[in-house]
Amino acid sequence: MSENLSSADNQQERLLIAIIPSDLGNYIAGFSDGEGSFNFSFRPRNDYRIPWKVSACFNISQKERPILELCRQTFRCGTLRSRPDGIWYFEVNTLNDLIRCIIPFFQHFQFRSQKKQKDFQTFCTIVEMLRTGKQHSFGGIQEILHFRRDMNGGGKRKYSEQQILDRF
């Protein structure tokens, strides 16, 4: 993500981060370090100019809803949902909320683990690519796939890179 964050909106977001008590911010960052995930999904679309919709998401899963409600109140965005097995998810998947709230928060309250730090930096890079519209070209999709490859340990993916590229 660009270090050039000087717009009025970003200054307002910095003020919001400045009022988050450090113990709360560090708690949420530590909790997210262990239970949180940054990811990107590719959904096939027939009504888009290109055959895929690329979405960014930050989420945390947990059995205890109050902890996730605390996250939602602190970030002032996102949604809570539950699964039939009793697991709750807090997720933020609106690009604007990721840019205005999630990324500045974790730039301020940083992760301790190197793996999560690396995933976060990759997440910021790809979010910036989405912000500038790179997902609307074949070359941009290739670049996003390249950066995403090592996130979350390679992770389980619904569509392989080859399946995504073959659909063009």
Encode pLDDT of 143-164 as tens digits. 999 999 988 766 678 888 999 9
Output the pLDDT for position 17. 83
Count other Cβ atoms within 10 Å, centred on residue 78. Answer: 24
Structural domains of the chain in order of their starting residue, each with its CATH number: 8-166 (3.10.28.10)
The pTM (predicted TM-score) of the whole model is 0.86
CA 29 to chain CA centroid, nearest Å: 14
Average of per-residue pLDDT across 106-115: 96
Is it the case that residue 14 has pLDDT exceeding 60? no
Enter the tokens of residue 25: 């911010």
Helix or strand holding residue 40 (H, E)? strand 36-44
Output the pLDDT for position 3. 37
